[in-house]
DNA sequence: CTTGACCTTGACGTTGACGTCAACATCTAC
DNA sequence: GTAGATGTTGACGTCAACGTCAAGGTCAAG
């Protein structure tokens, strides 16, 4: 299949596909006319990248997963490097959540000071 | 005082102070040699901006607070426009927290699938 | 033959809040 | 007088992941 179909099936833009190639995440064969040619394995790679990016992974984070799939594993997450990224990401997310909870408390406190009673309108997100 | 002292007292860079001026958040008088000259009121403005930015506000968000102080109010948050920003920010933060909690659950689920037992090492951030 | 859908590379634009450098002026202290 | 700290404006660099042109080549259908 060509880049348009690949992109449609994976739910990304053709620009994104070319960008992934530029970043070394995927590769491409070329047909006689110079068009990029892809197969099912490429589709799995792009789908993996997309699903990871959707939940907040960077392309750098996605690399171990892609390499894991390329190495022939069933899923991108079944290699130790991928598991390490999973664990690191969980830590980062936990830290972000903690920071946001702190910020929320800070902002709510400032609001309460500036306008007593205003705080009652929003509930605690926990 | 000049820009260096102002920046030191407020805990920002001189570059940041000039940027705030460029964005119209603060103004400056000039002494004979062309140096920017500031007073205590300017320090309060920059301090207000810094404290807001620290908890995640943009400079655009900070503007009502600065104008509130300029209008002679004791605190930057005691004007209705500032309170509106507070409330909007609280909503945004709540939404970010919800999104992060969703992401965390998603990542934890993927990790659990890729490596059963690995999930036990991190605790729930709630 | 020509429209139109698809492809190519290359390169600038987006977003916010500055960092960093250039090239120069000013002032203080010794 | 000179070194060093400080000030000035101007302007490009940073970060991520593409979006969005520009200017063209390729190919099937009518």
Q: Which residues of A touch B94 (CB under 8 A)?
A: 104, 122, 125
Q: Does the residue A12 lie in any domain?
A: yes
Assign A37 to helix, strand or coil: strand
pLDDT tens readout for residues B67-85: 999 999 999 998 999 999 9
- How many contacts does A have with B, using Cβ atoms within 8 A? 103
pLDDT digits (tens, 9 = 90+) for B3-51: 999 999 999 999 999 999 999 999 999 999 999 999 999 999 999 999 9
Domain count of the fold of chain A:
1
> For testing the chain A interface, which of B49, B90, B102, B106 should be mutated: the one with the most A CBs within 10 Å?
B90
Domain that includes residue A106, residue range: 3-121
**A97: nearest CA partner in chain B:** B97
Mean pLDDT, chain A, whole residue set = 90
Instruction: Let me know if residue A49 belongs to a domain.
Output: yes
Give how far Cα A62 sits from Cα of A82, A95, A103, B5, Å: 8, 20, 29, 45
Query: Does B67 map to a domain?
Result: yes
Asked if residue A126 is part of any domain, the answer here is no
Q: To the nearest 10°, report the CA torsion of A71, A72, A76, A79.
A: -60
pLDDT (mean) for A92-97: 90
**Residue B125 falls within a domain, yes or no?**
no
**Torsion over CA: A37, A41, A47, A48 (sign):** negative
Q: Is A5 on the interface with B (CB under 8 A)?
A: no
Query: Is B84 a domain residue?
Result: yes
What is the CATH number for B63?
A: 1.10.1660.10
Q: Which long-range contacts (CB under 8 A, 24 or more apart) does A30-36 make?
A: A35/A2, A35/A3, A36/A2, A36/A3
């Amino acid at each position: 299949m060509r880049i348009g179909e690949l992109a449609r099936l994976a739910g990304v833009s053709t620009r994104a596909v070319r960008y992934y190639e530029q970043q070394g995440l995927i590769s491409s064969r070329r047909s006689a006319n110079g068009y990029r040619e892809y197969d099912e394995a490429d589709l799995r790679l792009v789908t993996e990248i997309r699903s990871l990016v959707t939940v907040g992974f960077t392309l750098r984070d996605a690399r171990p997963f892609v390499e894991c799939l390329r190495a022939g594993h069933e899923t991108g997450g079944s290699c130790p490097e991928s598991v390490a990224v999973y664990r690191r990401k969980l830590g980062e997310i936990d830290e972000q959540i903690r920071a946001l909870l702190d910020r929320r408390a800070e902002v709510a406190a400032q609001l309460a000071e500036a306008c007593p009673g205003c705080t009652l309108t929003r509930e605690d997100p926990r």
